[in-house]
A = this chain, B = another copy of it.
């Protein structure tokens, strides 16, 4: 049986299990702890920062892939040096791990990005603000400085705490600053690429964020012009080939008020903007990811129904397990497809999502939103 190793035991690893069962793939997960979301497929528990732990795990599988993008480069390089196939590989993941490197690379490739700069001091940031209308988005290039790492500022001192941390890290570190894009809406282009080159794209979707967290995805993006679809496809193709991405990846895009597309973020793994594919596309992103990292031919990416809407379920104030609310939700919404991550529903935490599909977007959106609200609130 073909063996795929996944580093990380979160919900993305969990959602690979159904695809692995269907295709007869032996999915093995290196989880951070017992009782993680992907517990059923966890064959090892350990720290993914530890080269020895990861190497021992990787030697039992045919290919290594990921639930997240946080595995350190030295660990990734050790896997490659040991001759273990890793998808996406370290050279590609570098750009998902460091937003400054990503912005530089996309600019080098001539891809459309927001105006951006690398800023080492408050003075640098203030200069950027002065040149760009007085507002900007400051980002820590790597996770770890801050829970979110993204902040909208109107004055340089609003990021002074981050500059203080930078100074403590020594010379050479910097923040990323980007123009505050006047966007009409956010879109995402989900794609998959095999090591041998085949690339497929799903229809572009609209994603709706709430408090900086993905709340809802509408697939395909309503009223999405063919011309813009071609642009999104070309961007994803250039990203994949330019950065050497393998597996499923998502390009988050801004659609600007003046009809341009700008690359916002990249994710080199199955992504929240692609959860709709589980119930709305011929091939789910999780099956496709397994096919891609195994260098198997990719599946069809069309929609099975005209519209699918995905709504996230966050942990809320209500007590009890998500499944306690199944009777009411299922009774009122028989077309809703519930995905439960098996997580403790702490407030604000993504604990599941609902997909609904059908021919009338209004009805589909209502069903998905109402079922998710019932489960959440």
Q: A residues within 8 Å of B by Cβ?
A: 1-2, 14-15, 17-18, 21-25, 40-41, 278, 282-283, 291, 296-300, 302, 304-305, 321-323, 326-327, 330-331, 334-335, 337-342, 352, 357
Contact = CB atoms under 8 A, between A and B. Distances in A.
Contacts of A330: 291, 296-299
Contacts of A282: 334-335, 337, 357
Given A297-B331, A299-B330, A300-B335, A323 B17 contact: no
Contact of A334 (B21, B40, B278, B297): B297
B1 A298 contact: no
A20 to B, nearest CB: 9
B337 A22 contact: yes
A298 B342 CA distance: 21
A22 B338 CA distance: 7
A215 B302 CA distance: 27
20 contacts: A1-B342, A14-B21, A17-B40, A18-B18, A22-B337, A23-B326, A23-B340, A24-B322, A24-B340, A24-B342, A25-B323, A40-B40, A40-B41, A296-B326, A297-B334, A298-B334, A299-B334, A300-B335, A304-B357, A305-B305
A337 B25 CA distance: 14
Contact of A338 (B2, B23, B302, B352): B23
Most buried by B among A15, A25, A299: A299
A49 to B, nearest CB: 28
Contacts of A352: 24
A153 to B, nearest CB: 40
Contacts of A304: 304-305, 357
Most buried by B among A23, A41, A337: A23
B22 A323 contact: no
Given A1-B323, A330-B296, A17 B21 contact: yes
A193 to B, nearest CB: 15
Contact of A18 (B2, B21, B25, B334): B21
10 smallest beta-carbon distances between A and B, as pairs:
A24-B340, A18-B18, A297-B330, A297-B331, A300-B334, A300-B335, A304-B304, A24-B342, A17-B21, A22-B339
